[in-house]
Structure 1
Amino acid sequence: MTKHILILFALATIFSCKNDKKDNGKLNVVTTTTMITDLVKNIGGDFINVQGLMGSGVDPHLYKASEGDVSKLVNADIIFYNGLHLEGKLVEVFEKMGSKTKTPIALAEEIDKATLIGSDYFASNYDPHVWFNITYFKQFANKVTAVLSEKDPKNSVNYIENEKQYLEKLNALQLKIKNTIDTLPKEKRILVTAHDAFNYFGKNYGFEVVGLQGLSTATEAGVQDVQKLAAFIIEKDVKAIFVESSVPKRTIEALQAAVNSKGHKVEIGGTLYSDALGNDGTVEGTYIGMFEYNVNTIVNALK
């Protein structure tokens, strides 16, 4: 175990000795990614206290727990995280917490592994960007509702009702997205982004997805990767490529320059939200708003 983690857990031992009293009698729930935070807020409503560790634009692949994070985690009643090694540098923290205080809940464990996309970039051997399959996100909602209801049975009816309303919104989102994507000819459905966060999206909606950095932002694209992808863009006559909000845009700008230097014009079609939602208080700051924004941006740029 790294020295960083050892220090954090020395602090965690101190924090764990504190009174575990809930604020205002509500469950204290800690979440990792912004997508999970938004989901839990929709299900829990005003009946829980929610603290998200990661904010807008934060890359979960590279995120490290701070002393403040450990305090939140140790004093939480419930911890929800994505799993499949998305939160790579938090895995050791969660494993230690599971053995000492509580078992953090990896929502992706609810998914049938046989349906997942394989990946050699992660210890789980699966692509962890599962929220881009809305059906999987519905399974997340089911699990969150079940856990909240078990921990707080007096409010179970409220959690179940909130889930019902949220699932109706997700059903409407699926229909709206399909109708928008249907306006884009199949031969134009080539999505080039900073890293391969959109494979589940591509699988569902018939896009060929190519990421410059691979599945994890922990790996960096080299000159060969840029040149190879530039040749692909020219061959396929791709009209636009996309920046991601949680990944530095310099790699996509380098790709655009490489394509343009060969006499082929490619536009940067906009910024997509991949590993994190937009700012709080904006449409893109919600899972539903983010998904709809991404689809509109992709379709409008590739038409």
Structure 2
Amino acid sequence: MTRFTARIERITAFLVMVLTISLVAGCRSRTDANGSGNQADVALATFSGDHPINVVGTVGMVCDLVRGVGGEHVQVTQICGSGVDPHSFSPSSEDVKLISKADIVFYNGLMLEGKMAQVLGTVGRRKPVIAVAEELDPSVLLKPDEFEGHFDPHVWMDVSAWSKCVGVIADRLSKFDPPNAEEYQANAEILQTKLDSLHQYAIGVLSSIPEEGRILITSHDAFNYFGRAYGIQVMGVQGISTESEAGIQRINELVDLLVEKKVQAVFTETSVDPSMIQALIEGARNRGHQVKSGEDLVLFSDAMGANGTYRGTYIGMLDHNITTVAIGLGGDASPSGFQGKLTGEEVASETSSEIGSDLLEESSP
């Protein structure tokens, strides 16, 4: 990075901060004049406008659950799109405006959206801003030693754990919009049933991987919950955040593992630079061990697939990951996946509205 580029980034960050303070201060002065605006009032706030509710969310995994629970009563705007890394994402002035104008905001939390923390915290003083993963019981969360005392934010990699966030969203929407509470709870039950089916599918196909081959190596530490839920040893080249640097020692350690355990495949991620994985492949090749990689071994980690596709939904994202890992590590799974949607024209022709309704359909895999 050049000095000029670094200076431009600092100036941009400063301007976004100033805009945030200006927008929120103006709105807070209006709420304070009406005798509200403190934390207690925010927690008890209810929706009084016209539907649909203007919801803003950060990452797709959160937004997709909100759409599934909220149905026709919500209009969800997603800040971090397909292929966007939330660890390094800095909100633009337009993003700040969207968040500031929302009726209610949902985000993952647990430091996933690190560079958005100030904006979310400031806006949260005057309107409901919910970190869904932070409302889970701590017993559900992982705190690996290498995370330096912080919880791992990638909860969505364990379908059963992420399903608990559906309940968080349903409860929050029910309190915010009491007249539609019954519908939110009903939608949540349907969605959780569907997620339970996906979880059972994952247990089945991933258990078919030969025990000695259950080693998943990816670009960064986004798959710890996946490993815990489905009995797979997981390792990332980089740490919890894609902002961290992978050292030569770490790469050499993983190359040793690839050769010693005769690991079949390594996996890149759609939102992370694949260069570190390429370094692993080259290192193993230099020691006489061939490792598979490529377009068929790409996983979704911190971002879902393209909008309007099956992989652009939470269920489709995890279906893709589960099926890809199972096949890549020598397990028994159909390339069409959990619902038969990973291959064929049906995936490409789906629309966003069809996907939203699909989340609320009860069907077996």
Q: What is the TM-score with the length of structure 1 in the denominator? A: 0.92
AA aligned opposite 1:8 = L
8 A Cα contact 1:22 1:28, kept in partner = no
Q: Taking structure 1 as reference, are residues 184 and 121 closer, same or farther at Cα in structure 2, changes over 3 Å only?
A: closer
Specify which of 319, 325, 332 is matched with residue 298 of structure 1.
Answer: 325
Q: Which residue is equivalent to 2:231?
A: 206
- 2:43 equivalent to 1:16: no
Specify which of 61, 66, 72 is matched with residue 40 of structure 1.
Answer: 66
Equivalent position SS for 1:248: coil
Q: Taking structure 1 as reference, are residues 260 and 200 closer, same or farther at Cα in structure 2, changes over 3 Å only?
A: same
Q: CA deviation at 1:103?
A: 4.1
Q: CA deviation at 1:23?
A: 7.8
- 2:39 equivalent to 1:28: no
User: How far, CA to CA, are the matches of 1:17 and 1:92 in structure 2?
Assistant: 16
Specify which of 272, 297, 316 is matched with residue 270 of structure 1.
Answer: 297
User: How far, CA to CA, are the matches of 1:258 and 1:26 in structure 2?
Assistant: 54
- Residues 253-300 of structure 1 show CA distances to partners (whole Å, capped at 9, x for unaligned) of 121111111111111161000111101122211111111111111111
- Residues 172-209 of structure 1 show CA distances to partners (whole Å, capped at 9, x for unaligned) of 11111111112112211100000010001101111110
- Residues 199-252 of structure 1 show CA distances to partners (whole Å, capped at 9, x for unaligned) of 011011111101000111010212222222111111111000000011011211
User: How far, CA to CA, are the matches of 2:326 and 2:57 in structure 1?
Assistant: 31
Q: Which residue is equivalent to 2:98?
A: 72
- Residues 44-80 of structure 1 show CA distances to partners (whole Å, capped at 9, x for unaligned) of 1111111111101111111111111111111111111
Equivalent position SS for 1:25: coil
8 A Cα contact 2:219 2:238, kept in partner = yes
Equivalent position SS for 2:83: coil
Q: Which residue is equivalent to 2:161?
A: 136
Q: Which residue is equivalent to 1:244?
A: 269
Could you list the runs of 5+ residues in structure 1 that have no partner in the other structure?
none
Identity, % of aligned positions: 39
Q: Which residue is equivalent to 2:315?
A: 288
User: How far, CA to CA, are the matches of 2:319 and 2:243 in structure 1?
Assistant: 27
Q: Taking structure 1 as reference, are residues 279 and 273 closer, same or farther at Cα in structure 2, changes over 3 Å only?
A: same
AA aligned opposite 1:95 = G
Q: Taking structure 1 as reference, are residues 42 and 123 closer, same or farther at Cα in structure 2, changes over 3 Å only?
A: farther
Give 1:185-224 correspondences, 5 Å limit: 185-224=210-249
User: How far, CA to CA, are the matches of 2:271 and 2:30 in structure 1?
Assistant: 36
RMSD of aligned residue pairs (Cα, Å)? 2.4
User: How far, CA to CA, are the matches of 1:124 and 1:45 in structure 2?
Assistant: 37
Q: Which residue is equivalent to 1:90?
A: 116
AA aligned opposite 1:62 = S
User: How far, CA to CA, are the matches of 2:73 and 2:127 in structure 1?
Assistant: 21
Greater C-alpha radius of gyration: 2
8 A Cα contact 1:84 1:122, kept in partner = no
User: How far, CA to CA, are the matches of 1:252 and 1:278 in structure 2?
Assistant: 21
- 2:208 equivalent to 1:183: yes
Specify which of 3, 18, 24 is matched with residue 7 of structure 1.
Answer: 18
Q: Taking structure 1 as reference, are residues 81 and 19 closer, same or farther at Cα in structure 2, changes over 3 Å only?
A: same
Q: CA deviation at 1:122?
A: 5.8
AA aligned opposite 1:59 = D
Equivalent position SS for 1:157: helix
Q: CA deviation at 1:110?
A: 2.1
Q: Which residue is equivalent to 1:226?
A: 251
Q: Which residue is equivalent to 2:83?
A: 57
Q: Taking structure 1 as reference, are residues 54 and 87 closer, same or farther at Cα in structure 2, changes over 3 Å only?
A: same
AA aligned opposite 1:250 = S
